[in-house]
């Protein structure tokens, strides 16, 4: 057992618990109730929400491992496969935030139920539960596998420890605790990434990223379409701008996140990718884990532990919070959602432990992770679009259900090997080739439903009496 690593991990855990308790005290000052537990009484600043959103974006498996890998393989062209779609999404949210907040709903499920009705609210609850449980479980699993060697402990035990910590501070302070701990985790992540960037500089210089062949135009266009439609339908982003104290603070959160992304999602990964091409040319394996071994000597493993733990905790608490809000507050029911604060606390903890089970079963449930992105894009994008175009709302409800079943069908056809939708090897590697056909079916359903309703309405108009 590595005592130094365990000591560092314990101090980090105690710090997060202290912030969770602090958030709980702040909630009691605002009035302890279940609605405030979920919404933080809509009193959060744009700065804190921007740091929270930035921290949740910087996941272990996504921005670090995957982001560096894309730039290593494709050079600057790799930005089109992650960073640019993310920045486009933030720009769209910056423009749309005032209109979305004007509905008065807090969460995506509540808003869809308010605008589109209970059936669409049920679909939203189902999709968000599956998607965010899969993402939360994947992050717990990835973090457990990475941290286990540093702690010299079994990976399932490390996963359980991460889940217990997140459940404890979420139980204590609700959404305010999620955001407050995200702020601390963001600062730790920023220090960790900047330190890595400094260490990445090599005496002989870094290999340039410009001459590397860029991804195909088709891969870029499909990725942009899939990611932007999916991220626009992503509930954790919605919760942050609706929890802001004003439209100005909500927009500040989006702008702050975009600025941070230029540095931590583009700048630092680019330096790391250039260092990887210098130290590990023509690597066939994931370069980020191997690069860390070159950049950080064993005596600095405590820094790696702190950085990875901070990254993981933020993503776990964010995704689990969406599941908890969906289950306890937004699931369609005959009566209004429970105002019992105790039930809200236990729901937040239950969501984390459900994700832990997914993490323990991550190998057998890996297909769920690949399906999750398609469910957001093909299922929930259409009701999101309908929010801004009232004349399309009825058609958007039809398109949401059609898109949901279409993406399930296309996913099963592709993963079973019966049909291959994408010829581009990059799309096959990203495992998103099944999504564009489902989106196309959704477009047809939207257009067909809208035209049918336009034709049908004059026929149903009451005839004047003779």
* Side-chain-facing half-sphere of 184: CA atoms under 13 Å: 20
Among 58-72, 158-172, 192-206, 332-346, which is the least confidently predicted range? 332-346
Mean pLDDT of 171-200: 92
C-alpha span between 115 and 461 (Å, rounded): 24
Q: What is the pLDDT of residues 230-268, one digit of tens each?
A: 999 999 999 999 999 999 999 999 999 999 999 999 999
Q: What is the pLDDT of residues 354-409, one digit of tens each?
A: 999 999 987 656 667 778 889 999 999 999 999 999 999 999 999 999 999 999 99
The alpha carbon dihedral of 170, 176, 179, 183 has a sign of negative
C-alpha span between 72 and 76 (Å, rounded): 9
pLDDT class of 203 with cuts at 50, 70, 90: low
Q: What is the pLDDT of residues 314-341, one digit of tens each?
A: 999 999 999 999 998 888 776 655 567 8
Quick one: pLDDT at residue 114?
A: 94
Quick one: pLDDT at residue 426?
A: 77
Nearest CA among 86, 85, 64, 426 for reference residue 271: 64
Mean pLDDT of all residues belonging to the chain: 88
């Amino acid at each position: 057992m590595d005592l130094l690593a365990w000591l560092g991990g314990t101090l980090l855990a105690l710090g997060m618990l202290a912030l969770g308790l602090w958030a709980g005290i702040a909630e009691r000052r605002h009035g302890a109730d279940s609605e405030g537990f979920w919404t933080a009484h809509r009193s959060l600043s744009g700065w804190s929400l921007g740091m929270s959103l930035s921290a949740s974006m910087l996941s272990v498996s996504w921005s670090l491992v995957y982001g560096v890998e894309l730039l290593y393989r494709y050079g600057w062209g790799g930005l089109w496969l992650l960073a640019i779609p993310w920045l486009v999404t933030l720009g769209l949210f910056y423009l749309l935030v005032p209109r979305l907040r004007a509905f008065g709903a807090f969460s995506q499920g509540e808003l869809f139920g308010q605008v589109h009705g209970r059936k669409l609210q049920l679909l939203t609850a189902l999709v968000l539960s599956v998607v965010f449980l899969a993402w939360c479980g994947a992050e717990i699993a990835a973090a457990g596998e990475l941290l286990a060697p540093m702690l010299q402990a079994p990976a399932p035990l490390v996963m359980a420890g991460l889940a217990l910590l997140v459940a404890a501070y979420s139980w204590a302070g609700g959404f305010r605790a999620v955001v407050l701990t995200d702020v601390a985790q963001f600062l730790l992540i920023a220090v960790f990434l900047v330190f890595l960037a400094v260490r990445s500089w090599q005496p002989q210089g870094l290999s340039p990223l410009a001459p590397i062949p860029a991804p195909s135009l088709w891969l870029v266009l499909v990725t942009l379409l899939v990611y932007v439609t999916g991220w626009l339908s992503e509930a954790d982003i919605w919760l942050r701008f609706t929890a802001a104290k004003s439209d100005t603070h909500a927009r500040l959160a989006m702008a702050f996140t975009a600025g941070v992304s230029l540095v931590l999602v583009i700048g630092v990964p680019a330096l790391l990718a250039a260092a990887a091409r210098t130290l590990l040319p023509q690597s066939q394996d994931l370069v980020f884990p191997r690069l860390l071994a070159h950049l950080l000597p064993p005596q600095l493993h405590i820094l790696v532990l702190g950085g990875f733990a901070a990254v993981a905790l933020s993503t776990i608490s964010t995704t689990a919070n969406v599941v908890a809000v969906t289950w306890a507050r937004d699931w369609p029911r005959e009566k209004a959602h429970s105002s019992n604060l105790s039930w809200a606390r236990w729901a937040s903890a239950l969501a984390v432990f459900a994700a832990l089970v997914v993490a323990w079963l991550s190998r057998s449930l890996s297909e769920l992770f690949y399906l999750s992105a398609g469910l957001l894009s093909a299922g929930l994008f259409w009701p999101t679009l309908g929010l801004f175009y009232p004349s399309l709302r009825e058609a958007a409800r039809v398109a949401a259900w059609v898109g949901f079943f279409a993406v399930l069908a296309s996913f099963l056809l592709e993963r079973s090997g019966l049909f291959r939708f994408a010829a581009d090897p990059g799309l096959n590697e990203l495992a998103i080739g099944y999504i564009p056909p489902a989106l196309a079916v959704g477009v047809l359903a939207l257009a067909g439903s809208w035209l049918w309703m336009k034709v049908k309405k004059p026929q149903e108009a009451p005839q004047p009496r003779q």
